[in-house]
Copies of this chain bind each other. A is one copy, B any other.
Amino acid sequence: MRLSKTFIKTLREAPKDETAKNGELLTRAGYIHKEMAGVYDYLPLGLRVIENIKTIIRDELNKLGCEEISMTTLQNPEPWEKTGRFSDQEVDIWFKTELASGGELGLAPTHEEPIVEMMKSYVSSYKDLPIYIYQFQTKFRNELRAKSGILRGREFLMKDLYSFHTSEEDLDDFYQKVEEAYRRIFERLNIADCTYETFASGGIFSKYSHEFQTFLPVGEDTVYYNNDKSVVLNKEVYNEEVLRDLNVTDEKFEETTAAEIGNIFKLKFKYTEPLGLKYVDEDNSQKTVYMGCYGIGVSRLMGVIAEKFADEKGLNWPETIAPFRYYLIGIGENGEKEAEKFYNGREELTLFDDRDKRPGEKFQDSELMGIPLRIVISDKTLAENSAEITDRKTGESWKVSLEKLFDSF
């Protein structure tokens, strides 16, 4: 992408009402644009990061045999009334609206009810199970306050996976596979070393659920961890009984803040029972389907990663999700010519700063935008038949020969 051709600009000033670092930096660097608190547009660079995160998640879920679909925002109240979740007393973050032809609708804050309803068209026999279905879909939650940039959205992108099984063992088995897939996803996103599987409340249907919490100063959750961080507990389950249960009463726990980027939950019959999702088993008896659900906050992840790696100069993306691998600058007539040559054929990898601006400004923007490697070709580097590479992470610079640059970059 040529910076001279894109509409985005880096902004020197942070937006006044943006107090979260991720919101401030992502806006200044031209990745997002704020519509209102908790509601953001994704600009070309931001959309590329989102798509890169989706690609990693999709890849790991497809390996488990999961199938991708896309469900709707508008929600018929009926199935939600059967589970008691359409009531604003029960679920206090609904956005609701009215059909012109009459009747109240909701905007989906999550999709358990409609997916269970949908499964009634596709599940009749034990032979139809197991089923694993996911989507990347916008969720709507009417949060009273939304001050954390894209960490807490009123409108945000989530990956939600639902699984359906004939037995608890099969659910347990798949649950574990998703745990492992989540670990691989967080490794590929470069946040495995600060993201911990955390015991949280399982509601009344299972002892615990698991959250994936990334330790982060601005995180909105409070968690407790033991010395080697082998046991991490959400505040809601940090009590004597649970510590006894997990056999860690002797250990010392410390408190920290964290951002929940994923959760996995054995729902069992919680939604399939009230909505009547049944199958006929081998012995011809009717049985209720076991269910699990597994979320990852995609836009929140982008915010968490932005916060996590940012420094005083700006953003700093892991290579796996950076919108571009290279930030290319040509200086001087010959430098610009060589830069054009490098860009040609590498348009998808390279953010080419071909704007009519001073090199200093380009260097600053390359740092603010957080592109992993900066490549500078100038008359000075050309005198040594080379280009200068700078690593955004370490700040380290080194020379590579033009030959190597054109061959292996």
Contacts and interface: CB of A to CB of B under 8 A. Distances in A.
A295 to B, nearest CB: 18
Nearest to A108: B35
A291 to B, nearest CB: 13
Given A44-B67, A93-B100, A73 B9 contact: no
User: How many copies of this chain does the complex contain?
Assistant: 2
A7 interface: yes
Interface residues of A, number: 56
Contact of A65 (B5, B72, B128): B5
A36 B76 contact: yes
Given A33-B121, A70-B42, A74-B36, A131 B7 contact: yes
A113 to B, nearest CB: 11
A155 B76 CA distance: 13
A138 B138 CA distance: 10
Interface in A1-29: 5-9, 11
A122 interface: yes
Interface string A110-141: 00001000110111000010010100001010
A71 B144 contact: no
B96 A97 contact: yes
Contacts of A50: 70
A97 B98 CA distance: 8
A99 interface: yes
Interface in A43-75: 43-44, 47, 50, 65, 67-75
Contacts of A33: 118, 121
Interface in A79-101: 92-93, 95-101
Given A35-B76, A36-B74, A144-B100, A44 B65 contact: no
Kindly name the residue among A71, A74, A107 whose own CB sees the greatest number of chain B CB atoms within 10 A.
A74
Nearest to A117: B35
B72 A155 contact: yes
Contacts of A244: none
Interface of A: 5-9, 11, 33, 35-36, 39-44, 47, 50, 65, 67-76, 92-93, 95-101, 105, 107, 114, 118-119, 121-123, 128, 131, 133, 138, 140, 142-145, 154-155
16 contacts: A7-B119, A7-B128, A7-B133, A33-B118, A33-B121, A36-B74, A39-B74, A40-B72, A44-B68, A50-B70, A74-B95, A95-B97, A97-B97, A97-B107, A100-B144, A107-B107
